[in-house]
Chains A and B, each alone.
Chain A
Amino acid sequence: MFSYCSDPKALAEAIWVQLPWLDSFWLTSWISGFLNSLPWFSCYLTSAKHVDFYWSFVTVLALLAVTAPAALAMGFMGATAARSHVGPVRWFGKAYIWMVRGIPDIIFFLFFVIALDQGIEYVKNLFVCDGGAWPWQGLEFRVCQEAKVPLGSSAPIWHKAYGFFLAVLTFALVFGAFTANVIYGAMGAVPRAQLETAEAYGMSRKQVFRRILVPQMWVYALPGLGNLWMILIKATPLLFLLGVQDIVYYARELGGSKTQVYEYPHGDWRLYYFLGLLVFYLVFTRVSEIGFSRLTRRLSHGQATAAGEAMRKAAA
């Protein structure tokens, strides 16, 4: 990164600042020690590996940015299905919501990633392989070379992208079920009288749903959705389990002790890296909390709830 970084070993020993009046006291000598280590740290923290580490934060943010709307969409569909008047659709919606109850979701994470991968390859195998044999044989899952996703010959970037895609799909499936549960509850919380009034005005079932139920539902759903967002943030380290090179992966890689053969030798610093991750998550959840409390205030405006009523009285 910087021009002086070409020889980090010499950098570690070099003395840049000498402050004899500081060095003579034990209390202040750490100041010059700190000043002298700054150049080394500036090179260390901008090394190629560290830049990858910083990019992995973007991976996490990207996962959140893609998963949250996807889960919201799936949740909305799940909740609508669970309220459907058509039996099989309703059972499907309810089963989807109930699927996640009672079972630790880490199991879903581990299960879906393999199951989706094998499912995709199995379907592709039916089309591209001769015969399309049953792939689960004994201790192996075997499909022909052409049915591999991505193909063995594809560039590594595709393997990474596919891994990320599977992770997003898994997150969206699991969190979609949680979201469906929240939205289902919120739809039930909209006062019956509101819907009946709309019906009395002669609105059709679709119109009541679109114009009355959905706009009013959000304020009831928001606390639950806020909780889910926090939980989604806190679930992102599980990307590491799904084989994506995320912040946990890099924190372990970079923090592990490096011997003299490395450019920047250091001891076991994993504790500090993980402290950094802890701070990242604490700041992230705190900022989200504040954001959600603001959003709740805005959505409560003009609603038939205690908060909305309080705002109306304050304004009057």
Chain B
Amino acid sequence: MSMTCWETVQAYGLRSIGIGENLLPKTDFTLCQQFTLIGSGLIWNLYFGVLALAFGFFLANAIALARNARNPWVRKPADWFVFVFRGSPLFIQFFLAYEALVLLPKAGIDFLGLHINTSWTTRAWAGALFVLFLNTAAYAAEIFYGALKSIPKGDLEAAEAYGITGWKKFTRIEWPTMMRLGWPAYTNEAIFLFHATTLVYFSSFPAFAQKGDALYYANYFADKTFNPFIPYPIVGFYFICLTLIVTFVYGRVNRRLNRHLPSNERSRIRLRPQLIR
């Protein structure tokens, strides 16, 4: 039975989240099938990337400020958090998190008469998202902390001369400047994180019912056809598109952050090579 490409898209377009045809193709792989299934896996990469970045942004801000605090009880834990997550491989962090989550009692925890179910934490959608969230928070916190440290002294003095102090100084002067200075590096971090999402199903978190990410399906095809020259370039293509979209969106934000500056003083986003974390 052969399907037209549109039928294939209908059958497998949402396969990665369990909608559509249950059985994956086993023989006679077409280019269309590979494009469709790998593209459907990309839904998971987007899910992990978007949510981890969204939640991680707030934690990163909090940690960057904590690192800037004078009180060592606030500063030290933040320093350690950043050191642990930036100093160790994400791969090991995934393993460690999975092993730790597996050790939670399967039946759930009874706490103060409250029953807390724990089985969902070992699933990738929750466990891996949590690790990615902490990881990106640590990397972004380092960026924001560096930006906070490099706010021009004159800006702060000018603010104080105008009588802007305390919380108002923070929200009106320090935070916007921190964002503006850190944004180009943060853009790279975002691209970086999207690339890191491909590690999820290659570390410890199992894919249930063959619902995996883009790399999971690419690997499936490469294993089945013994031909790496088609599926891997397809994932590569999808990720280049994703990188372009992320650069565009973050570029718009960067433009807004820099809108008050003369055009020759604006900070530009320079794309740097994306590396494993």
Contacts and interface: CB of A to CB of B under 8 A. Distances in A.
Contacts of A110: 215, 218-219, 222, 228, 232
Interface string B221-254: 0101111110011011001100110000000000
A107 B226 CA distance: 16
Interface residues of A, number: 45
B83 A282 contact: yes
A236 B96 contact: no
B88 interface: yes
A236 B91 CA distance: 10
Contacts of B89: 233-237, 281
B231 to A, nearest CB: 9
A102 B243 contact: yes
Interface in A126-162: 136, 139-141
Among B100, B194, B226, the most chain A Cβ lie within 10 Å of the Cβ of B226
10 closest residue pairs by CB, A with B: A104-B195, A141-B226, A111-B232, A234-B89, A102-B243, A114-B228, A237-B91, A271-B99, A285-B87, A102-B240
B199 interface: yes
A240 B95 CA distance: 12
B112 interface: no
A233 B87 CA distance: 10
16 contacts: A102-B240, A102-B274, A103-B239, A104-B198, A106-B198, A107-B215, A107-B239, A110-B215, A115-B228, A177-B273, A181-B272, A234-B88, A234-B277, A271-B96, A274-B95, A282-B84
A236 B196 CA distance: 15
A106 B228 contact: no
B224 A231 contact: no
Interface of B: 27, 83-84, 87-93, 95-96, 99-100, 102-103, 191, 194-196, 198-199, 202, 215, 218-219, 222, 224-229, 232-233, 235-236, 239-240, 243-244, 271-277
Contacts of A236: 89
Main secondary structure of the interface of B (DSSP, over half): helix
Nearest to A185: B272
A101 interface: yes
Given A106-B215, A107-B215, A139-B225, A248 B275 contact: no
A301 interface: no
